[in-house]
Structure 1
Amino acid sequence: MALAIFLFTYIFIAGARLPFIKLDRPGGALLGATLMVVAGAVTPAEVFGHSSDRSQQAIDMDTLVLLLGMMLLAVYLAQANFFRAAGAKALKVAHTPRLLLVAVTFVSAFLSAFLVNDTVCLFLTPLVLVVVEDARLPPVPYLLAVCMGSNSGSVATFTGNPQNMLIQGASGLGYARFAAYMALPAVLSTLIVAVALLYLFRKELPSARFDTHPPPLEVDRRLLALGLGGLLGVVVAFFAGLPMSWSALAGGVLVMSLSGHEPREALERVDWVLLLFFASLFVVVHGVHKAGWAEDIRHLFSPLMAGPPWRETLGFAGLTLVASNLFSNVPFVMLARAWVPSMQEPELAWHVLALGSTLAGNLTLVGSVANLIVFEAARGKVRMGFMDYLRVGAPVTLISFAVGLGVLLAEHALF
C-alpha cells in the first residue's frame, strides 16, 4: 500500500496531470501524506513527532526550520532591494552582452551559495527580464544563466538548496567541512555553465557595447545593513558549528524584530507552500521507508554499486544523476539518505549525493524548482519547451558533473 501511494504521489511530483484530479506538486504531496496516514502506513504520532526516537519521526523539523530561517532572511533582503542592487552592480561592470551573461551567471551562483537557490531565482528573474528588454537582447540565454548558475552555485553549501539541507540533517557533517569540499566543484560548475552558454548562444549575442536604463532603485540602507549583518551572523554561526536550523531562524527573527516593519508583509512572502510540500514529502517517504520499500529499491540498484569503493561511488553518482530527474531530486535524496551511512566511504557519498542531485537540476526543465520559477516568471515573454532546454542542459550537466565528480574524488584522495 505504501509503495502504491508513493507511486501515485509521484505522478503529481513529476508534474503530470490526471483528467479527473487537478493537483499540482504541493497538492499531490499533501494528498499522498494524507493517504499514508489514512491507510495506516504512517501514524499520526509519527507525523507529529511524539516519539523521542528520530527514526520514528516522519517529518525532519530541523530541515524545515532551517529552510524557514533562510527564507525569512532572503525576504528582508529583498525588501531592502538587495537583489536588485546586486543586479545593478553586475550591470555596471558588464557593458557587452557576453560579459553581462557571465555576470548574471556568477551573481546568481554566488547568492545561491548562501541563500536558497529558489528564492534567489524568484527575486533575480524580474530584474533580468527588465534589463534584457531594455537592451534589446535575447532573454533565453540570460534566463538560463539565472537558473543554471543558481543550481551550480548552490552546490557549495548546505544552505544553497533544499536537498543539501536534507543532507545536512541526515549526515551530521559540519558546515565548514562540507563547504571546503564542495566550493571548488561549485565554482568550476558555474564556470562551465558560463562558458557553455557563451558558446551555445554565440550567434545570438552581439559583441557591441550597450547601455541600459533600469528603473530607479531605492535601497533601504538600514534594512539592507541589518539583513546582511543577520546573514553574516548566521554564516558565522554555521562555521562555528552551532545548530544550523535554529541559528538560521534566530537570525531571521532578529532581523524581523529590529527591521521597524510590520512582520506580516515579510511572513506573507515566505513560501509556506514549499514548506508544506516538504513536510508532506517527508510523510510519504517515511511510509516507504517504514514498509521496507526504500531498502528494496536500494537492492534493485545494488549491482550498479557492487565492488570496490571507486566503483560504488561511480555507480551511486550515475544513479543520483538519473534518479534525480526521474523521481525529482528532493524525493530521491529523501530516499537515498538512508543508504549512505552503510556505504564504504560515507562522507564521499554524501558529497556525491549533494553534487549529483543538485547539478541534475540543470539537465531538464523540470529537473529543478529553480528552473520552473524562472520560466514561469517569464511566461508570456519567453517560450521554453522541454527539448529546447534539454539541448542546452544535457551538455552543461554532463560536463559539469564529470568535472565536479573528478574534483571530489581528487579532494578525498588528497585530503
Structure 2
Amino acid sequence: MLLNLVRPFARDRFLHLLLIVGVILSFIAPFQPQRWVHAIDWHTIITLAGLMMLTKGVELSGYFDVLGRRMVKRFDNERTLALFLVSAAALLSTFLINDVALFIIVPLTITLKKLCAIPINRLIIFEALAVNAGSMLTPIGNPQNILLWGRSGLSFGAFTWQMAPIALAIMLSLLVLCWFCFPNKKLVYHAHDKRHDWQPRLVLSCVAFYVIFIVALELKLEIWGLAVVAVGFLLLARRVLLSIDWSLLLVFMVMFIDVYLITQLPVLQHALAGINQLSTGGLFALGIGLSQFISNVPSTILLLNYVPASVLLAFAVNIGGFGLLPGSLANLIALRMANDRRIWIRFHYYSLPMLLWAAALGYGLLLLLKQI
C-alpha cells in the first residue's frame, strides 16, 4: 500500500526535472527559502486536491463506464465523436475554470478506450487545446482572466465582448484542425460489450461532496471543504485516496517555487524595468514568450506590475497557453491524467503550430482593433 503511494513520486521524471531546476535557480536567485512557502498558490493546490479526489471517486464508481457507453453509441464515426468531445471541453471551460473542465472531460475520454478503438492520446491533446481556447472567452474561464477582469474594471459582458473575436477564431481553427486530424471512419466496438456495474451510492456521495467543496471555495473556506471531502472518502471509499496520483500536487508546488525563483533573477528584473517602453508588438511577444516558460498565470501577475490590464495583455497571456507544455497549467493536468509518456512529445506536434497560428490571429486582430 505504501509502495503504491511512493511509486508515482519515484517515477515522475517531470517532477525530478523541476527539482533539479529549482536547485540550480536557488544558487542564482537570492536565497530566501522562508519565502518559498508563500510563493505557492495554496488555493490552487487545495482546489486541485479536492477535484482530484472527486474525479477519482466518480471514476472508481464505474459511472464513467456507463456514461461513456451511452455516449459513444450515439456516434457512428471517429470524427463526430472527436468534434463533440472537443466542443464539449471548450464549452465547459467558458463557465468553469479550464482545469475543472478537464477533470470532467478527460476521465470520461479515458474510459472510451475500454469501449472502442479511438486515438485517446490525440483526443486528450485536442481537449487540452480546447479548454485553453474556450476559456479565453469569459472572465471566469481561467485564472489569468479572473486577474485581468478584476484589474480592468470592465463588466462581465464587456470583457467577454473584447475576448470574443480571438476566442471564436481560435476555437473555429481548432475544430477545422480536429476535422482533418480525426478520420471519418466507423467506430469499432470491442467484443466484450457487457453490462458494467456501477456504484450509485459512491456517485451520489461525490456529487454531495462536490457541492460542499464548491460552496466552501466560494466562502473562502477551502481547507475545511477539502477536509470534509477527504474524511468523507476515508470513511466511505478509502481506495479513492490510495489511487490518486499525489505527485501531481508536488509538481505544482515545485513549479510555483521555480517560477518565484525565476522572477527573482536580477537579470529578469532589470530587463522588465523598461517594459512600459515596448511597442505593441514587443509587449505582445513578451506576454506570449514569458508564458511559454513560467506559465500564463504567473506571467499575468508579473506583467500587471508594469502594464495595465489591457486587451493586448489579455490576448497575449491567453495565447501563451498554447505552445510549450508550461504555457498553461491545464496542459500539464491533461497530459498527466493521460498517464502515457508518449503524449508529452506528441502534444507539441499540435500545440506549437497552434501557438504560431493563434499569435498571428491575435496580432492581426489587435492591429484591426487599433484602427477602428
Relative to the length of structure 1, the TM-score reads 0.63
Supply the distance in 1 between the matched residues of 2:196 and 2:66 (Cα, whole angstroms).
7
What do residues 196-231 of structure 1 show as CA deviations (whole Å, max 9, x unaligned)?
121344xx423x576666564333323323333443
Give the length in aligned residue pairs: 353
CA distance in 2, matches of 1:408, 1:236: 38
Q: Partner residue of 1:129? A: 113
* Structure 1 counterpart of 2:239, from 247, 253, 265: 265
- Going from structure 1 to structure 2, the CA distance change for 1:368 and 1:179 (only over 3 Å counts) comes to farther
Task: Give the structure 2 partner of residue 296 of structure 1.
Answer: 270
Q: Which residue of the partner structure matches residue 99 of structure 1?
A: 80
CA RMSD of aligned residues (A): 4.8
Counterpart of 1:67 in structure 2 is 48
Partner of 1:342: 306
1:275 & 1:376 partners in 2: Cα distance? Answer: 15
Partner Cα distance (2:64, 2:363) in 1: 31
- In structure 2, what residue type is equivalent to 1:352? F
1:121–1:374 contact (8 Å) kept in structure 2? no
- Aligned partner of 2:278 in structure 1 is 306
1:215–1:177 Cα change, 3 Å:
farther
Task: Give 1:5-404 correspondences, 5 Å limit.
Answer: 24-34=13-23, 41-48=30-37, 57-110=38-91, 113-114=96-97, 115-116=99-100, 119=103, 123-133=107-117, 141-153=122-134, 155=136, 164-165=142-143, 177=156, 181=160, 189-201=170-182, 204-206=183-185, 216-232=195-211, 234-235=213-214, 242-243=219-220, 246-247=221-222, 249-258=223-232, 261-262=235-236, 264-299=238-273, 302=275, 306-307=278-279, 311=280, 315-325=282-292, 327=293, 330=295, 333-343=297-307, 345-346=308-309, 348=311, 351-352=314-315, 354-360=317-323, 368-370=331-333, 372-373=335-336, 377=340, 392-400=350-358
2-structure distance, mates of 1:45, 1:363: 25
Counterpart amino acid of residue 306 in structure 1: L
- What letter matches 2:196 in structure 1? L
Cα deviation, residue 40, structure 1: 8.1
1:69 offset after TM fit, Å? 2.7
- Alpha-carbon shift at residue 280 of structure 1 (Å): 2.1
Which amino acid in structure 1 is aligned with residue 33 of structure 2?
P
Using the aligned pairs only, state the percent identity. Answer: 19
Cα deviation for residue 110 of structure 1 reads 4.8
Structure 1 residue 269: Cα displacement: 3.8
Q: Secondary structure at the match of 1:205?
A: coil
Amino acid at match of 1:274: L
1:45 & 1:85 partners in 2: Cα distance?
49
Alpha carbons 1:361, 1:367 under 8 Å: kept: no
Shift in CA distance, 299/142, structure 1 to aligned 2, threshold 3 Å: same
The answer to whether the 8 A contact 1:69-1:250 is kept is no
Distance 1:260 1:146 in 2: 31
The range that moved more, 187-196 or 398-407, is 398-407
Q: How far apart are the structure 1 equivalents of 2:325 and 2:33?
A: 37
Q: Distance in 2 between matches of 1:276 and 1:124?
A: 25
- Taking the aligned partners of 1:76 and 1:409, their CA distance within structure 2 comes to 48
Structure 2 Cα separation of the partners of residues 404 and 212 of structure 1: 43
Matched to 1:69, the amino acid is G
User: Closer, same or farther in 2 for the Cα pair 1:292/1:385, shift >3 Å?
Assistant: closer
> Which segments of 5 or more consecutive residues in structure 1 lack a partner in the other structure?
1-21, 49-56
Q: Partner of 1:358: helix, strand, or coil? A: coil
Q: Distance in 1 between matches of 2:25 and 2:261?
A: 6
Aligned-partner residue type, residue 68 of structure 2: G
CA distance in 2 between partners of 1:321 and 1:28 (Å): 23
